[in-house]
Amino acid sequence: MTVAPASHRLPPSLVERMTQPAVLVQFLAGLEARLTPTDRIGLHRRASLLRGLGRGAEAGEAYRALLASDPHDLGAQAGAAIFAGAPLPEGAQGPTPFVQLADVLSADQQARLWQSLTDDSASLAPAGVYTGGTQPRVDGETRVAQLLERADSVRAWFLPWLEEVIARANILPRLGLAPFAVGKRELQVTGHSDGGFFSVHSDASANPAAPSWARHLTFIYYFHRLPRRFSGGDLLLFDPPGGGDLSFTRIDPTHNSLVLFQSRQMHTVTQIHSAATDPLDGRWTVNGWLHRAKTPLTPERHQDLKEG
């Protein structure tokens, strides 16, 4: 993962203050008290606050209502499609697109994953970040997490399964992405215990001259012991800059769910709180990136992906 240059990073104090659910609830209550049916700016802001609180179903209803009154509203088009799980309309402008799929791994696959984690838990090591060099470095002010250093046993079966899901669930159109030939594949098994977090960053290279085959698609599979033994750890997926608002979608780290989004999008992991001392009681993910291949898709392969 690459931390964005300082000129492109949101002030940490602002992010911390403005993304607190209690603050958003107050904003929403104040907005709804003065909102009128013709205030489209206010109605869009209401939809944004709902998704910032993680209330996706309500946000989807709000965007559909906006779209019903103005079918040409690009922001409403995007929001309605995202929360309905539909392909993103061409030219739509609005919330950063993402896909979240529930109950994705079978019981046998989950058991296999947990077995790999428990068997190799001695290989857990502090996670680092890329800040411009060729090797990651541990930076406790940016990221606190652990990585399973030996993840080959997971990689062997998870990546083929993931690419099958991407094709079967029609993921790329839902993210506004064209079919692409996959090059490098990266996978990590990552744990967050009490105090763990990841500040605002992009998974794609922060270098604007980076090649087009850099990280293109981010995936995060969430898993944890049941019942959940931690709080926090939400994924905040920020909208592109513009309009002066700090707008984002909050995604809960729901057990056995898979989230996908474009790697260039800015996001953060909120701090984890837990009284548990066992690292296996924390927030766990199988996460990684699919790179765009240096060799473009052939017309035949492009059709295969569209039909898959």
Q: What is the pLDDT of residue 307?
A: 39
Maximum Cα interatomic distance, the chain, rounded to a whole number of Å:
59
68: left (phi over 0), alpha (psi -120 to 50) or beta: alpha
Q: Are residues 109 and 17 in the same domain?
A: no
Q: Are residues 159 and 223 in the same domain?
A: yes
End position of a domain, from candidates 29, 55, 84: 84
In a domain, 1, yes or no: no
Q: What is the pLDDT of residue 246?
A: 86
Instruction: Give me the CATH number covering residue 24.
Output: 1.25.40
Distance CA 96, CA 261 (A): 8
For residue 172, how many other CB atoms are within 10 A of its CB? 21
In a domain, 24, yes or no: yes
The range of the structural domain enclosing residue 22 comes to 6-84
Asked if the model's pLDDT at residue 299 lies above 70, the reply is no
Instruction: Give me the CATH number covering residue 302.
Output: 2.60.120.620
Q: Is the peptide bond before 208 cis (omega within 30 degrees of 0)?
A: no
Distance CA 213, CA 181 (A): 9
**Reported confidence tier of residue 305, pLDDT bands at 50, 70, 90:** very low
Q: Are residues 128 and 214 in the same domain?
A: yes
Distance CA 191, CA 285 (A): 7
Q: What is the pLDDT of residue 14?
A: 73
- Which residues, 6 or more positions from 102, have their beta carbon under 8 angstroms from its beta carbon? 254, 256, 257
In a domain, 91, yes or no: no
In a domain, 123, yes or no: yes
Q: Are residues 50 and 115 in the same domain?
A: no
Please state the rounded mean pLDDT for residues 43-56.
Answer: 98
Taking the CA atoms of residue 191, residue 206, residue 289 and residue 252 in that order, the dihedral angle to the nearest 10 degrees is 50
Angle between helices 21-34 and 40-52 (to 10 degrees): 160
Q: Are residues 138 and 45 in the same domain?
A: no
In a domain, 90, yes or no: no
Q: Are residues 66 and 147 in the same domain?
A: no
**Reported confidence tier of residue 304, pLDDT bands at 50, 70, 90:** very low
Q: Are residues 266 and 123 in the same domain?
A: yes
**Reported confidence tier of residue 67, pLDDT bands at 50, 70, 90:** very high
In a domain, 274, yes or no: yes
Q: What is the pLDDT of residue 300?
A: 52
Q: Are residues 188 and 73 in the same domain?
A: no
Asked if the model's pLDDT at residue 22 lies above 90, the reply is yes
**Reported confidence tier of residue 1, pLDDT bands at 50, 70, 90:** very low
End position of a domain, from candidates 17, 52, 84: 84
Q: Are residues 27 and 105 in the same domain?
A: no
**Reported confidence tier of residue 243, pLDDT bands at 50, 70, 90:** low
Per-residue pLDDT reduced to its tens digit, 179-231: 999 999 999 999 999 999 999 999 986 555 667 668 999 999 999 999 999 99
pTM metric for this prediction: 0.91
In a domain, 301, yes or no: yes
For the chain, the domain total comes to 2
Q: Are residues 79 and 148 in the same domain?
A: no
Q: What is the pLDDT of residue 75?
A: 95
In a domain, 146, yes or no: yes
Q: What is the pLDDT of residue 156?
A: 97
